[in-house]
Amino acid sequence: MNVTFVVVGILVLLAIFFIVQYNRLVRLNVAVDEGFAQIEVQLQRRADLIPNLVESVKGYAAHEKETFEKVVQARAQATAAQGVAAVAEADGMLTQALRGLLAVAEAYPDLKASANFLSLQEELSGTENKVGFARQYYNDNVRKLNEIIVSIPGKFFAGPANVVAREFYAVNDPGKRDVPNVSFN
């Protein structure tokens, strides 16, 4: 009789262990999906701001047609991208195009003083911060999930939970790697 209780106790503990590990993987997988969804929400918010920003700058710098076209094209690619790698690549292209647009705006003091432009620029800056936080949240959850999947005991539960390693959200932005030019002249 005591042996039966011990065997049943061990089976119950194994069942609890299995359930805990399974649920842990599923929860992290959902957190990764949530993180990517937040990135997409913030990128869509940024994409929605861009037409207003372009129109504001167009009024002052109508001859900068190539810059506007780059921004519009990058925005279209960003809104159509699917999957982590494609979204990250399109995000990087859009970021570079926006830098070009804001550089054009720097050449026009009246534009920089425009309340509408300043408001849009501030909103874009806030959205960029939110995009950065969403990327960090996503990548933190991907790291946790991937660590569990490759370590024991998570390795044994990944298959039954239908959870696979996920890729990190990395924006290829060569401009961020440039060494800043500092001058005290």
Question: pLDDT tens for residues 47-93?
Answer: 887 777 777 776 666 656 667 777 777 777 777 788 887 888 888 88
State pTM to two decimals: 0.69
Domains of the chain, each with CATH number or no CATH: 32-137 (1.20.1440.20)
Nearest to 105 by CA among 124, 126, 91: 124
Residues 6+ apart with CB under 8 A from 138: 32, 35, 36, 38, 39, 169
CB 78 within 8 A of CB 136: no
Tell me the C-alpha distance between 142 and 94, whole Å.
Answer: 24
Per-residue pLDDT of 20-36, as tens digits, reads 888 888 889 899 989 98
Residue at token pair 């997988």: 29
Tell me the C-alpha distance between 165 and 69, whole Å.
Answer: 37
CB 68 within 8 A of CB 101: yes
Nearest to 92 by CA among 176, 35, 178: 176
Average pLDDT, the chain: 78
CB 102 within 8 A of CB 121: yes
Query: 146 in helix, strand or coil?
Result: helix
Give the percent of the chain with pLDDT over 90.
2
CB 39 within 8 A of CB 87: yes
Give me the sign of the Cα torsion angle 169, 173, 174, 179: negative
